[in-house]
Chain A
Amino acid sequence: MSKQTFVKGAAAAAVTALALTACSGGSGDGGGEADDGPITWMAMLHTPVTPDADGPIHTALEEYTGQEFDIQWVPDASKEEKINSALASGELADIVSLTVTDSTTVRQALGAGQFWDVEPFLSEFPNLSKIDPQTIEAAKLDGTLYGVPFQKIKTRYGVVVRQDWLDNLGLEVPHTIEDLEKVAVAFTNDDPDGNGKDDTTGFIDREESFLVGFRSLTGYFGAGDKFSVDDSGQVHAAFTTDEFKDAMEWYRGVYEQGAVNQEFVTVQKTNQQDAIAQGKGGIVVTGLFEAKNYLALAESADPKTPMKWALVNDITYDGQPHRIISDTGGGMGGWLALPKSEVKNEDEVRKVLGFIDKLIDEEPYTLMTNGIEGTHYEEDAEGVVTITDQTAWEQDVQPYSSSRPSEKVKTFKSSTPYVDEANEKMAEQEPDAVVNPTQSLTSETFDRQWSTLEDRAMDAYNRYLTGQIEMADYEAVVEDLRGQGLDDIEQEFTDAYAEVNG
């Protein structure tokens, strides 16, 4: 059975439930919680399995921090719906992981003061006081810090290519867009897995192509991270720029040669992973750290899989210098926000922040990264980490890794293939990072309209790519969006940008 619709279904169920809660709510949650009760945390789940609430990592974290806590896992694919409905109904937790930084609802909720301004408290905590000031700035909205920023590596994305397929066909690792296309087409037509069947393609993309995979590709063509500023100081939405459209034309050409999975618009993240593990395609635009996960997934199905990956972090286009769009908002992966409805007073704020602060210590960081030594991993004399029980690691540890308040505490050497390489290559391309210039600027229209506009642009992109409409139609949609608020957004950001940058 395909997992494709499971998440959507969960969302559907959530809506039905919401129909009840949102309507019958309003009486407010009576019964003030005891101050020393467990901390609740609404966190994103990027893995198919929800970890056991009494699992070893959870217990160990509670032991280390001396603080009981409960995590409410939100499947990542339905996070927008879940978070939006949670914000609407006020059914929040003490800590809410807000990872969609440009969501209309999230921005409105932050702007309306639903959450604590944590900046004044940060200096009281050893780890929180050390957060990179640049990250703090990037995390501010209107000059206020409405949550502890998730600290991430700025540039995790790249292109991963099946090295074994390249070898089979006698091809070189691609370093330019032109070569990337050639490889993609060869993967489609030349039977790279040598099974005699025409069952492979180049790129394996998914439904969110416009927001993740393809967006990263547009960076090579010169497009901005959601927005860009031209020489005259005018702010433009990236999807309206020529660079973006160049990338669209190129990608459509690749698609038309069959070198992108043809029904990617129906493919969810887990389907994408399955397809890659099953060797249906050989190129993925994704976080470089994913290569090890693909390999693990393929090995779980076939321990003798020939799968090998080339991690590419230096694709260039048309002689331009390499640039890479930051997939983490310039190292800021969202906020750990503290809603005032749950965290009632300053003492409670300190308590919750203290808990987050402790999670940034090395021990809990190790727990959430590698697990427990002896159970999940072994560390040798040179500090090289080996995951010994992959299944247990995936079940117990992996879900927590995306909830680490900081991903930059320590880099472990690893015996797992591609881990060290990915870490190095992600760090290597940080200087080429392209960061959204409007991230900490405010535009009222953006907060209200962006989600809707982006949805429509995304539909138009998908339809263009699959050949339903032509570039002129895409441009017509963009023109239409201009009248519906896009012009206002660009103008408001331009003004705000001028104010900040003199």
Chain B
Amino acid sequence: MVGVTSAGDAVSAAAATATATDPRTPTPASASVTAPPAPRKRRSTFWRHRTLYLMAVPGIVYFLIFKYAPMGGLVIAFQDYLPFLGITGSPWVGFDHFVRFFSEDTFYVLLRNTLMISLGMLVFAFPVPIVLALLLNEVRTRWFKRSIQSVVYLPHFLSWVIVVSIFYVLLTTDGGSINNLIVSWGLDPIPFLTDPDWLRPMYIFQEIWKGAGWGTIVYLAAMTAVDMQLYEASELDGAGRLRQAWHITLPAIRPTIIVMFILAIGDFLELGFEHMFLVMNSLNREVADIFDTYVYTAGIENGQLSYAAAVGLFKGLVGLVLVVFANRLAKRFGEEGVY
């Protein structure tokens, strides 16, 4: 559906263009130092870096075709889109779909559910890769570190379908292993899969299980850049492992953490459709229905394409605002933002 991806795309596109331009950033600066007359020089710097631009082309084309062009479809959010009439033939209705969305009760339910889970993700899931990376960093036996790394990366490569199925087999009260264990202790089985109270913990736990290991990569990479002399010096001063981690490693990877945090904020409403869709059912829908799943149900299952596009567009705009805001905030505190 149009709405599902588009706005998140805007964010990721922004991030990507930022990274794409990174190699360029130093050049205008150095160019302007050496020679002030800009227009001619600019062309020549362009020519000088032509191979870099050439290398950027596939990326740019990718974003144009798969991220920007589909955004054109968002106009159906302002139409009563009927597939057989097409975008050109469908009647325009202005902001009707938005008005309907904001005046319905579902809006608050969706907002609450999305925010609660996003908050949970930030509080519980976001720090886990950092802690894991710190722990891995302390492992000195090379082969052991390597093998642990591979093991924790592995869940990342499983699709949500597999992950959720594994948890289903473990957690179901109709003969799931965890519940069999609980019952064998003489306790009542816990309906993890259907109890609304269990949905959020289960969802976040699954996210951590699947993503934490993979998330350490960025932090581990940042940690390799820390000057070894700092550790040696601190050792002479009598600092232990814990002290070193707190006073050297963590401050050194702070910019990375902040960049990751901004990106996480940008994805605040972008929980992703697939995972939630798979764990959602009639009984936990009241807390599980989020913007992404609602867009799917309203748009694909119930055929209200324009309405769903409007919901998706709203979600995307909020995501964009959040990422801009977080970036500003980071810069204000003297850190480097994502752009």
Contacts and interface: CB of A to CB of B under 8 A. Distances in A.
Contacts of B274: 9, 12, 16
A20 B305 contact: no
A108 B2 contact: no
Contacts of B282: 207, 265, 458-459, 461-463
Given A12-B278, A90-B83, A19 B1 contact: yes
Interface string A1-16: 1111110110110011
B166 A12 contact: no
A463 B6 CA distance: 34
Contact of B194 (A24, A90, A266): A266
Contacts of A455: 297, 301-302
Give chain A's interface secondary structure class.
helix
B33 interface: no
Interface core residue of B71, B72, B274 (most chain A CB under 10 Å): B274
Contacts of B164: 5
Interface string B71-92: 1110000000011111100000
B240 to A, nearest CB: 46
Interface stretch (A64-72, A80-88, A216-224): A80-88
A266 B5 CA distance: 27
Contacts of B199: none
Contact of B300 (A6, A84, A263, A280): A84
B168 A4 contact: yes
Interface in B240-273: 273
Interface stretch (B15-23, B35-43, B126-134, B170-178): B170-178
Given A1-B162, A263-B193, A266-B193, A112 B2 contact: no
Contacts of A84: 300-301, 303
Contact of A24 (B70, B166, B278, B283): B70
A88 B173 CA distance: 39
Interface residues of A, number: 55
Interface in A289-333: none
Contacts of B305: 88
Contact of B283 (A81, A261, A462): A462
Interface string B1-17: 11011100000000000
A101 interface: no
B303 A451 contact: yes
Contacts of B4: 15-16, 19
B298 to A, nearest CB: 8
Contacts of A207: 281-282
Nearest to A484: B104
Contacts of B61: none
Contacts of A2: 165, 168-169
Nearest to A451: B302
B138 to A, nearest CB: 36
A127 interface: no
A452 B302 contact: yes
Interface residues of B, number: 50
B160 interface: yes
B285 interface: yes
Contacts of A1: 162, 165-166, 169
A134 interface: no
A80 B296 CA distance: 12
A26 B300 contact: no
Contacts of A262: 173-174, 191
A81 B302 contact: no
A81 B165 contact: no
18 contacts: A2-B165, A4-B168, A8-B161, A12-B278, A15-B1, A15-B273, A23-B70, A26-B86, A84-B300, A88-B305, A207-B281, A261-B174, A266-B168, A266-B172, A266-B193, A452-B302, A455-B302, A468-B283
Interface of B: 1-2, 4-6, 65-66, 69-73, 82-87, 159-162, 164-166, 168-169, 172-175, 191, 193-194, 273-274, 277-278, 281-283, 285, 296-298, 300-303, 305
10 closest Cβ pairs, A-B complex: A9-B161, A23-B70, A105-B303, A462-B282, A23-B73, A12-B274, A451-B302, A88-B83, A459-B282, A19-B5
Interface of A: 1-6, 8-9, 11-12, 15-16, 18-20, 22-24, 26, 80-81, 84-85, 87-90, 103-105, 108-109, 112-114, 199, 207, 261-263, 265-267, 275, 280, 451-452, 455, 458-459, 461-463, 466, 468
Given A109-B83, A263-B172, 4 more contacts: A1-B165, A16-B274, A18-B300, A109-B84
